[in-house]
């Protein structure tokens, strides 16, 4: 029952009210024992809701409550020998202090200034208790001295407990109800002990039952703290660091520091012993305060050093980051002596890292990065700088001649000779490395910046040549980079100003030569350089983040054209239009919704549209791309695997993904009639596709021999120069509309023999 704490709180307050009425000794005892027993039971039940680190705290509180109960029960009946009650009560304070210490420990280590603050407060509280309470009580001669001293020192015990409780609140990010009840209950204990101490100074050992009211309320609040659902938060390691000189701490320190001076003015004239005690405590407080100041300065310096370290190092691997390695490269360039040695920078990028992240998640990717960093540390020689400068990019800085730099690159590539363990399997991974060098002298900052830029350029050249490659930078790469940047800008302008075009290459039936569909192909004519091949500008669009906008533009152009053809009868209802989609486009989870909206806008049925993708989508895809493909297929679109047979062809991929057809790559078609091996490959693709119920289109058909060979093995559709290249929509309609309505096979005279 989650409301037990409310029931117990109300019952405790009611019992306290009855107790304060002093109806009879029996009633008072019943009320007191009921509250105390309930609190004890609550304290021993609290550990069930705690973590392993803090579950041991509340039994100490429960044991302390038992001892306090014994002391309070015994005290009225042993007025002549109150030491018997003290024998139970004093150990209770010790157990209560242990309770707070265990909770603080469970929340994490306690800062040094917090310990010093506690000592200062306790020293000031002890001095005040000794002079104002213990010393006057000790002057009473009709009872044992130890009893009198203890009567005056009980508030000191409470000061220690209160200091621990307040420190617990200072280090908590939030103050849950359980914590508020705990600290308030401890404060009421201070009030009760202070009242008894004042009574003790007067020479009396027991007075009105009203003196027990603070203890009853304290018991009640401690029980509420143990029963409240937020009790589990007390032991969580969710600390809130408090500044060493925060206003919360000043509210404790200022009165504590002022205590010796106030006491010196009020009671310091009684005797030289008083003044000596006050002076000694004052000096001790000042010493602790100075130690605290030094500790705070040291902590501040340590925090600055830690912050500086974090700003210069990668938190995952502990390696220097880009900022630090850049400064170190500048230092190497500035300090390089004359001679054949050069400063070399090797930038490496992990091949296939994105695949690991997409397949197993970022935690696994982090484990891979940590393992690679460890291997690189072991591979690079002493004195060589190693840094992590990006998600899967590392930089090595080396001073020496070219032979040493090349040997270092070989050693780095050797790090990837063995698979990297990932989860329950092993991943074969490689690195693309770009190497550049620079002489010493000149503007070190400018030289270092150029060196790192050149290494980055060489690395991207390596990635373009395939995984596991290494490339040394040369000046011609700058021209290629400049050309690529200019091409990107021109492509961006062409896309914004609608300067691209879409042409349509027919997909024909081999038995009739009539078009059954067409492939929409984007073309770009540069105003100065003329036609730019798609294999040149499509990668630029992908790297520049333009591929989504380009794909959207092509789809809208193609769908609007298909809608017009269907409306004017250029094509019939069986005609479909094939549109290419890049892997990056298929990783956009919004694509199915976007395509569905475009189909509605142009009134084109989904069955009249095919999406072409490369085999790499299936090999890399398992996550977002797979879901996108399934949703596109659910819309009714056809899904075709383009350039089939050149990449990751596997029966498993075709079975796992909702593809409807394959397009045999032109590299296999070109050998038909000349290569028996190519003919067998095509025959195998046809057999596999038929077994899976997939349609088949052959690409790159240029001769009648190739056409006849394809027809002989069962291919029913093809496209290629035998029927013409991609043409403008009006030319397509002019030629192929007439052909579709003409009887008999389409003429093949335009093709090669």
The Cβ of residue 416 has, within 10 Å, a number of other Cβ atoms equal to 21
* pLDDT of 263 above 70: yes
* pLDDT of 69 above 60: yes
User: CA–CA separation, 45 vs 563, rounded Å?
Assistant: 74
**pLDDT band, residue 82 (cuts 50/70/90):** low
User: CA–CA separation, 331 vs 624, rounded Å?
Assistant: 45
Looking at the DSSP assignment, which residues form a beta bridge with residue 695? Answer: 661
User: CA–CA separation, 142 vs 547, rounded Å?
Assistant: 97
- The domain ranges of the chain are 3-245, 322-473, 485-736
CATH topology match: 322-473 vs 485-736: no
Q: Which two tokens stand for residue 79?
A: 């007025």
Using alpha carbons only, give the angle 337, 341, 345 rounded to the nearest 5 degrees.
Answer: 110
- Please say whether the beta carbons of 619 and 648 come within 8 A: yes
User: CA–CA separation, 391 vs 389, rounded Å?
Assistant: 7
Using alpha carbons only, give the angle 711, 712, 716 rounded to the nearest 5 degrees.
Answer: 25
Residue 745's pLDDT is what?
Answer: 40
Q: Which two tokens stand for residue 340?
A: 């054949």
Query: Whole-number mean pLDDT of the chain?
Result: 82
- Please say whether the beta carbons of 518 and 505 come within 8 A: yes
- Please say whether the beta carbons of 62 and 40 come within 8 A: yes
Helix (H) or strand (E) holding 437: strand 430-438
Sign of the torsion formed by the C-alpha atoms of 206, 208, 213 and 216: positive
Torsion of CA 487, 491, 492, 494, to 10 degrees: 140
Q: How far apart are the first and last CA of the chain?
A: 90
Which range of 194-198, 429-433, 439-443, 464-468 scores highest in mean pLDDT? It is 429-433
Indicate the range of 44-48, 577-581, 626-630 predicted with least confidence.
Answer: 44-48
**pLDDT band, residue 29 (cuts 50/70/90):** confident
User: CA–CA separation, 697 vs 659, rounded Å?
Assistant: 13
Indicate the range of 106-120, 257-271, 497-511 predicted with least confidence.
Answer: 106-120
**pLDDT band, residue 673 (cuts 50/70/90):** confident
Helix (H) or strand (E) holding 39: helix 25-45
* pLDDT of 228 above 80: yes
User: CA–CA separation, 134 vs 137, rounded Å?
Assistant: 5
Instruction: Kindly state the average pLDDT of the residues 420-433.
Output: 83
User: CA–CA separation, 718 vs 656, rounded Å?
Assistant: 25
Question: 674: which residues sit within 8 A by CB, 6+ positions away?
Answer: none
Distances (CA, A) of 103 to 233, 240, 553: 10, 15, 63
Torsion of CA 73, 74, 79, 80, to 10 degrees: 180
pLDDT per residue as tens digits for the range 136-189: 666 666 666 666 666 656 767 777 777 777 777 766 666 788 888 888 888 888
Token pair 């009473």 is found at 140
Question: 98: which residues sit within 8 A by CB, 6+ positions away?
Answer: 60
pLDDT per residue as tens digits for the range 443-461: 888 989 989 999 998 998 8
Residue 207 — left, alpha, or beta (φ > 0 → left; ψ -120 to 50 → alpha)?
beta
Instruction: Kindly state the average pLDDT of the residues 240-261.
Output: 71
pLDDT per residue as tens digits for the range 291-334: 888 877 887 788 788 888 888 899 999 999 999 999 999 988 88
**pLDDT band, residue 752 (cuts 50/70/90):** very low
Q: Which of 236, 217, 265, 134 shows the shortest CA–CA distance to 176?
A: 236
Token pair 């021999």 is found at 705
User: CA–CA separation, 170 vs 243, rounded Å?
Assistant: 10
User: CA–CA separation, 645 vs 667, rounded Å?
Assistant: 9
Residue 238's pLDDT is what?
Answer: 55
pLDDT per residue as tens digits for the range 543-590: 888 999 999 999 999 999 999 999 999 998 899 999 999 888 988 899
Distances (CA, A) of 556 to 322, 491, 519: 43, 18, 14
3-state secondary structure 549-565: HHHHHHHHHHHHHHHHH
Residue 255's pLDDT is what?
Answer: 82
- Please say whether the beta carbons of 671 and 636 come within 8 A: no
Residue 440's pLDDT is what?
Answer: 74
Question: Is 717 or 118 the better-scoring residue by pLDDT?
Answer: 717
Q: What superfamily would CATH give domain 485-736? A: EAL domain (3.20.20.450)
CATH classification for the domain delimited by 322-473, as one of 3.40.50.2300, 3.30.70.270, 3.20.20.100, 3.40.50.620:
3.30.70.270
Residue 527, classified by CB atoms within 10 Å of its CB into exposed (0-12), middle (13-18) or buried (19+), is: exposed
- Please say whether the beta carbons of 713 and 679 come within 8 A: yes
Could you tell me where the beta strands, DSSP code E, fall in 624-683?
Answer: 638-644, 661-664
Q: Which of 391, 392, 400 shows the shortest CA–CA distance to 416?
A: 392
Cα Rg, the chain, nearest whole Å: 42
**pLDDT band, residue 260 (cuts 50/70/90):** confident
Q: Which of 231, 178, 224 shows the shortest CA–CA distance to 13?
A: 224
Residue 743's pLDDT is what?
Answer: 38
Question: 46: which residues sit within 8 A by CB, 6+ positions away?
Answer: 58, 226, 227, 231
Residue 571 DSSP label:
S
User: CA–CA separation, 671 vs 258, rounded Å?
Assistant: 99
Residues found in the chain: 753
Could you tell me where the beta strands, DSSP code E, fall in 293-357?
Answer: 342-351
pTM, entire model: 0.53
Residue 43, classified by CB atoms within 10 Å of its CB into exposed (0-12), middle (13-18) or buried (19+), is: buried
Sign of the torsion formed by the C-alpha atoms of 276, 277, 282 and 287: positive
Q: Which of 460, 388, 20, 9 shows the shortest CA–CA distance to 214?
A: 20
Residue 203's pLDDT is what?
Answer: 57
Token pair 């400049």 is found at 482
Helix, strand, or coil here: 3? coil
Residue 728's pLDDT is what?
Answer: 95
**pLDDT band, residue 750 (cuts 50/70/90):** very low
* pLDDT of 399 above 70: yes
């Amino acid at each position: 029952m989650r409301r037990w704490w409310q029931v117990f709180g109300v019952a405790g307050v009611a019992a306290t009210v009855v107790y304060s009425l002093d109806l009879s000794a029996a009633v008072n005892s019943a009320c007191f024992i009921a509250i105390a027993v309930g609190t004890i039971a609550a304290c021993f039940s609290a550990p069930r809701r705690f973590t392993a680190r803090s579950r041991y705290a509340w039994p100490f509180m429960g044991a302390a409550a038992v001892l306090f109960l014994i002391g309070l029960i015994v005290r009225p009946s042993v007025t002549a020998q109150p030491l018997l009650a003290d024998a139970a009560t004093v150990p209770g304070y010790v157990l209560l202090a242990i309770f707070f210490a265990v909770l603080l420990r469970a929340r994490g280590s306690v800062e040094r200034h917090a310990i010093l603050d506690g000592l200062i407060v306790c020293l000031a509280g002890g001095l005040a208790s000794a002079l104002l309470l213990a010393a006057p009580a000790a002057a009473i001669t009709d009872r044992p001295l130890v009893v009198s001293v203890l009567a005056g020192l009980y508030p000191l015990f409470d000061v220690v407990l209160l200091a621990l409780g307040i420190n617990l609140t200072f280090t908590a990010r939030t103050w849950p109800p359980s914590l508020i009840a705990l600290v308030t209950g401890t404060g009421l204990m201070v009030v009760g002990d202070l009242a008894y101490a004042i009574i003790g100074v007067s020479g009396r050992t027991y007075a009105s039952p009203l003196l027990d009211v603070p203890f009853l309320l304290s018991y009640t609040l401690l029980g509420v703290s143990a029963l409240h659902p937020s009790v589990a938060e007390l032991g969580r390691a969710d600390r809130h660091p408090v500044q060493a000189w925060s206003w919360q701490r000043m509210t404790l320190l200022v009165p504590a520091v002022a205590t010796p001076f106030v006491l010196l003015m009020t009671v310091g004239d009684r005797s030289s012993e008083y003044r000596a005690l006050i002076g000694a405590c004052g000096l001790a407080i000042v010493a602790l305060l100075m130690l605290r100041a030094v500790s705070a300065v040291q902590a501040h310096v340590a925090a600055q050093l830690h912050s500086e370290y974090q700003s210069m190092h990668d938190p995952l691997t502990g390696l220097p980051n880009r900022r630090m390695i850049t400064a170190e490269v500048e230092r190497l360039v500035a300090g390089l002596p004359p001679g054949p040695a050069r400063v070399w920078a090797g930038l490496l990028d992990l091949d296939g890292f994105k695949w690991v992240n997409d397949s197993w998640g970022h935690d696994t990717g982090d484990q891979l990065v940590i393992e690679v960093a460890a291997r690189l540390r072991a591979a690079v020689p002493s004195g060589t700088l190693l840094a992590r400068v990006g998600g899967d990019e590392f930089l090595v800085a080396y001073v020496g001649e070219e032979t040493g730099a090349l040997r270092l690159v070989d050693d780095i590539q050797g790090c990837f000779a063995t698979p990297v363990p990932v989860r329950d399997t092993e991943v074969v991974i490689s690195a693309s490395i770009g190497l550049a060098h620079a002489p010493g002298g000149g503007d070190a900052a400018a030289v270092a910046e150029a060196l790192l830029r050149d290494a980055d350029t060489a690395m991207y050249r390596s990635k373009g040549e395939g995984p596991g490659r290494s490339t040394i930078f040369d000046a011609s790469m700058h021209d290629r980079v400049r050309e690529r940047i200019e091409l990107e800008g021109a492509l961006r302008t062409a896309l914004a100003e609608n300067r691209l075009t879409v042409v349509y290459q027919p997909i024909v039936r081999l038995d009739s030569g009539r078009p059954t569909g067409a492939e929409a192909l984007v073309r770009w004519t540069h105003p100065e350089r003329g036609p730019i091949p798609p294999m040149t500008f499509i990668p630029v669009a992908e790297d520049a983040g333009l591929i989504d906008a380009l794909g959207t533009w092509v789809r809208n152009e193609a769908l609007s054209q298909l809608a017009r053809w269907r409306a004017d009868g250029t094509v019939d209802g069986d005609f479909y239009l094939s549109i290419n989609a890049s892997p990056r486009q298929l990783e956009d989870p919004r694509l199915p919704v976007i395509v569905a909206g475009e189909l509605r806008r142009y009134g084109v049925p989904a069955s009249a549209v095919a999406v072409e993708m490369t085999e790499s989508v299936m090999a890399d895809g398992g996550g977002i791309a797979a879901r996108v493909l399934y949703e596109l297929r659910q819309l009714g679109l056809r899904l075709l695997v383009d350039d089939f047979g050149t990449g990751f062809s596997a029966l498993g991929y075709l079975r796992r993904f909702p593809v409807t057809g394959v397009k045999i790559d032109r590299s296999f078609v070109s050998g038909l009639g000349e290569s028996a091996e190519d003919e067998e490959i095509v025959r195998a693709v046809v057999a596999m596709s038929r077994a899976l119920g997939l349609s088949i289109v052959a690409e790159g058909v240029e001769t009648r021999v190739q056409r006849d060979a394809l027809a002989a093995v069962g291919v029913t559709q093809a496209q290629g120069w035998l029927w013409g290249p991609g043409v403008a929509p009006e030319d397509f309609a002019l030629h192929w509309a007439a052909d579709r309505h003409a009887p008999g096979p389409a003429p093949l005279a335009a093709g090669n023999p």
